[in-house]
Structure 1
Amino acid sequence: MMILHSHPASPFVRKVRIAIQMLGLADRVEMRDADVNDPADPLRRHNPLGKVPAFVRENGSALYDSPVILEYLDHLAGGGFIIPREPEARFAALALQALCDGALDASYLLMCEGWYRTPEQRVARWIEKQAGKVERALTTLEAASPALSGMPNVGQIALACLLGYRDFRFDGTWRETHPRLHAWHDAFAAAVPAFAATMPSSG
């Protein structure tokens, strides 16, 4: 049995959980909630960075973070499912994943401002820098939302998780100004049952 060190609020974990369900691997993976703030949590034995997701293979070796895990899951399922084999499609999917992951990183850093700093400690330039990354990413994605046909690829999974995280942590403020992404999100949710099944919870 393989193990996924998880957290219910992590969009990066959500990417992996969606892929596991889409690829029919759910019966081979045990989900284990991790406490990223606990030095004694087993997570740190498998990922020295103490970050989720971390994935433990059947041979005991660990993989991290989400892009690497997704590539392994695709390989495990036979390849060519969520990471296209054809070079142009492959690199387009990987580039889309990188853009969405970057916007997720910036979104998480904005949340950290509120979690770890008092209002007096917050730096406006830093907040504006992270918010700018998110807005530029959403503007780019609004102008060229990826077509949905067949099994979603890693980039499309990452985009859905980005929009879901903006709903979860930022009250869905992106929807009013990004109608094409709004429609894309709803189409993805309708086509991929795993998206609703992996809805984040507080934490």
Structure 2
Amino acid sequence: MKLYHSPASPFVRKVCVLLHELQKTDAVALEPVATTAFDSSEVLIASNPLGKIPALERSDGPTLYDSRVICAYLDDRFAGALYPSGARRWEALTLEATGDGIMECAVSMTYETRLRPPEQQSSQWIEAQWAKIARAVSVLNGRWISHLSGALDMGHISVACALAYVDFRHPQRDWRKDNAGLAEWFAGFESRPSMQATRPPVA
């Protein structure tokens, strides 16, 4: 299998962290690809018409895309346990969606400042995206700490990759303020070997 990959993408990082946690990094080759919202890679488009990463190319079926689809597929294929059963499954899926939503907002902020010229940037749009992130972080700190403190699942990975991306691209935004419980949890989770092995480049 081949994963179309950019080390700065939090969605790609989700998949890579999962592979590390399942000890299956040797089962998927990483295929670097340069793509942006304004300039999609032709190679990537051939596998994913949306031109987005990650995309997982398989020899036994069509290419899979969207990090949630890929993570669920790999967890199933390698008999993982990152999508629990019973009531906890729905909590894990909701947490994963929350983490992914934070990523989407943070990536949108990044695109606004890195891809658009200053005169076309919208501070109102940027602040609207940040407001969504701030609300989500507050709810994670208040409602979800008990789940995050439990057995590892895909919700943990998504939330951790989301918070790490906010630190990476928007370090001036202090998401830790008034969210001490979540900050403490993240500090511990960030030290996991899977997170350390998938740290994005500095640039």
The answer, yes or no, to whether TM exceeds 0.5 is yes
The equivalent of 1:5 in structure 2 is 4
Secondary structure of 2:189's counterpart equals helix
The letter for the 1-side match of 2:181 is R
Aligned to 1:193: 193
Give the conservation status (yes or no) of the 8 Å contact 2:47–2:63: yes
1:161 pairs with 2:161: yes
Question: Which runs of no fewer than 5 residues in structure 1 stay unpaired?
Answer: none
Count, aligned residues: 198
Summarize the Cα distance change of 1:92–1:44 in structure 2 as closer, same or farther, 3 Å threshold: same
Structure 1 length normalisation: TM-score? Answer: 0.90
Rounded to whole Å, the distance in 1 between the matches of 2:126 and 2:187 is 29
CA distance in 1, matches of 2:44, 2:61: 13
Going from structure 1 to structure 2, the CA distance change for 1:30 and 1:182 (only over 3 Å counts) comes to same
Q: How does 1:123-142 map to 2 (within 5 A)?
A: 123-142=122-141
Corresponding position: 1:48 with 2:85: no
SS at 2:134 equivalent: helix
Q: Give the C-alpha shift of residue 39 in structure 1.
A: 5.3
Does residue 1:34 correspond to 2:33, yes or no? Answer: yes
- Paired residue type of 1:45: A
1:139, 1:103 → 2: CA distance? 12
Query: Residue 199 of structure 2 aligns to which amino acid in structure 1?
Result: M
Work out the CA distance in 2 between the residues paired with 1:19 and 1:25: 9
Check whether the contact 2:15–2:67 (CA below 8 A) recurs between aligned residues.
Answer: yes
**In 1, distance between residues paired with 2:141 and 2:41?**
43
Question: 2: distance between equivalents of 1:120 and 1:39?
Answer: 23
TM norm structure 2: 0.90
Q: Unaligned 5+ residue runs, structure 2?
A: none
Query: Secondary structure in 1 aligned to 2:3?
Result: strand
Q: Judge conservation of contact 1:166–1:173 (CA < 8 Å) in 2.
A: no
Question: What's the Cα RMSD here?
Answer: 1.8
Q: CA deviation at 1:112?
A: 1.1
Please state how far the C-alpha of 1:60 moved relative to its aligned partner: 5.0
